[in-house]
Amino acid sequence: MIFRPALRPLLFFLALCGSAFGADRLSNPLADAPDWKTLEKFQRTITHDEFERLLRDVYCPKGIREELIRVDSDAACILTDRDAQRWFVLRFAKSEKSRKAPPRFWRSGSKLPRGTKTKPLLGLRIALDPGHIGGEWAKIEERWFQTGDVAPIEEGEMTLRVAKMVAERLTALGAKVSFVRDRTEPVTPYRPADFKETARAVLKANGVENPPEEFAGRDDPSREQTIGWQSELLFYRTSEIRERARRVNNKLRPDVVLCLHFNAEAWGDERNPTLTDKNHLHLLVNGSYLPDELEHDDDRFEMLHRLLSRTYDEELKVADTAATAMAKATGLPPYQYTTDNVIKVGTSGYVYARNLVATRLYRCPVVYFEPYVMNSVEVVARIKAGDYEGTQVVNGIERRSIYREYADGVVEGLVEYYKTAPSR
């Protein structure tokens, strides 16, 4: 399940008052200041045509102002300092043949050592990122509901369970598997109380003066305007994902990250949730930045870093192959977005490009899985049935356990992609 985008327009507004965060720049809360010099290493690693293709078709399909990125025939000029009107000049390679290789820690499928018949994933470094935190944090992160008198359903616990199954199988196939999170505890060392001042600044920048400290409960309609709720959001969304990105980029440095989630439709009251008949599947890769997001210095910088690292073509191939395997394993139809913050990409019909914090900040190919609607009648019945070997009749249909079926799709997709990657 993806964090609700409700705050996006607000974030842009608050970013205009960037000085509230101690810096005169347009940025997201808790974002590191972009280090534009680090883009120097990408000089002459990409041709004009390739840069244009990725910029216009993948990352900025809704447009980008010329004042932010101007593309000339031999270079692109990128705005780095609005007040001083400073620009970074990226020089293009003259041809595909003469271009330098982009520096990066991850390896594409075609550059990996050859696998064997029994170990087709030999040497592949995979990081698993089970979505959310779960455990005692599940209610705070609003990934918890209870229907009837059975145990509560928590996305963060379910994603970890799937990740452990996936890890065991991928390891047996020769992959080196690491976890971005391996327990129902936060990766960030901070807690909501650490973000009270930032929460106050966020609210002030959104025109909320003298906000109340606490909210009455999860159904309090004015909770978004309290310091308590904003501090929690900064903890479990912003700080947590930024800390996971540091772990991925500085410590794990994998060839690919798999973000594992369960999707959901709005369920209303967590103790009397609305159940739905809808059930679907989609996968996400990074792209489709909105024009307002590109005004943020940190969004623009990370977008360029991704574009120049050339992650898109690799992650799309992994995602498309994995989506086909997931569709086969689950039998689910593709989710159809009704919002304009995505574009459909690839050929499977299940993959979209979208600008999520995790897919933006992890500096390697990232495939973000969103199968199953957790609060659908069918999925609730399958979650209640728990994990089991073989098949069982659930809601009148004979099925694998939902966790094993999810793991099957992920593993089969990866094996399919990496065994057929060009050099293998």
- Residues between 2 and 31 that touch Zn ion (CB under 5 A): none
Q: Which stretch binds Zn ion (CB under 5 A): 69-77, 218-226, 233-241, 255-263?
A: 255-263
Closest CA to 417 of 287, 349, 324, 295: 324
Q: Which stretch binds Zn ion (CB under 5 A): 63-71, 79-87, 258-266, 286-294?
A: 258-266
Give 367's strand partners.
258
| Residue 325 C-beta: closest distance to Zn ion, Å | 20
Residue 294 contacts residue 12 (beta carbons within 8 Å): no
| Residue 50 C-beta: closest distance to Zn ion, Å | 33
Distances 230 to 203, 217, 355 between C-alpha atoms, Å: 8, 14, 21
- C-beta of 120 vs 134, nearer to Zn ion: 134
- Report the residue from 261, 310, 354, 404 that binds Zn ion according to the rule CB under 5 A: 261
Is residue 156 at the binding interface for Zn ion, with CB under 5 A as the rule? no
Binding string, residues 211-250; x marks residues near Zn ion by CB under 5 A: ----------------------------------------
- C-beta of 131 vs 346, nearer to Zn ion: 131
Q: Give the β-pairing of 397-399 and 392-394.
A: antiparallel
- C-beta of 208 vs 380, nearer to Zn ion: 380
Distance between CA atoms of residues 209 and 225, nearest Å: 10
Q: Which stretch binds Zn ion (CB under 5 A): 1-9, 51-59, 304-312, 333-341?
A: 1-9
Is residue 161 at the binding interface for Zn ion, with CB under 5 A as the rule? no
Distance between CA atoms of residues 80 and 159, nearest Å: 38
- Residues between 43 and 62 that touch Zn ion (CB under 5 A): none
Residue 253 gets the label, from left (phi > 0), alpha (psi -120 to 50) or beta, of left
**243 is written with which tokens?**
């800390």
**Number of residues binding to Zn ion, judged by CB under 5 A:** 3
Q: Which stretch binds Zn ion (CB under 5 A): 109-117, 259-267, 289-297, 299-307?
A: 259-267
- C-beta of 304 vs 374, nearer to Zn ion: 374
Q: Which stretch binds Zn ion (CB under 5 A): 33-41, 82-90, 260-268, 335-343?
A: 260-268
- C-beta of 1 vs 15, nearer to Zn ion: 1
Is residue 1 at the binding interface for Zn ion, with CB under 5 A as the rule? yes
* Radius of gyration of the chain measured on its C-alpha atoms: 22
Closest CA to 351 of 328, 330, 331, 322: 322
- Residues between 115 and 144 that touch Zn ion (CB under 5 A): 131
3-state helix, strand, coil in the chain (%, to 5): 40, 15, 45
Neighbours of 216 (CB within 10 A): 11
| Residue 136 C-beta: closest distance to Zn ion, Å | 18
- C-beta of 262 vs 418, nearer to Zn ion: 262
Q: Determine the Cα angle at 389 with ends 318 and 385, to 5°.
A: 95
Closest CA to 314 of 124, 153, 100: 124
- C-beta of 90 vs 332, nearer to Zn ion: 332
- C-beta of 109 vs 131, nearer to Zn ion: 131
- C-beta of 55 vs 162, nearer to Zn ion: 162
Residue 79 gets the label, from left (phi > 0), alpha (psi -120 to 50) or beta, of beta
Is residue 282 at the binding interface for Zn ion, with CB under 5 A as the rule? no
Distances 148 to 153, 260, 270 between C-alpha atoms, Å: 11, 26, 11
Is residue 354 at the binding interface for Zn ion, with CB under 5 A as the rule? no
List residues near Zn ion by CB under 5 A: 1, 131, 261
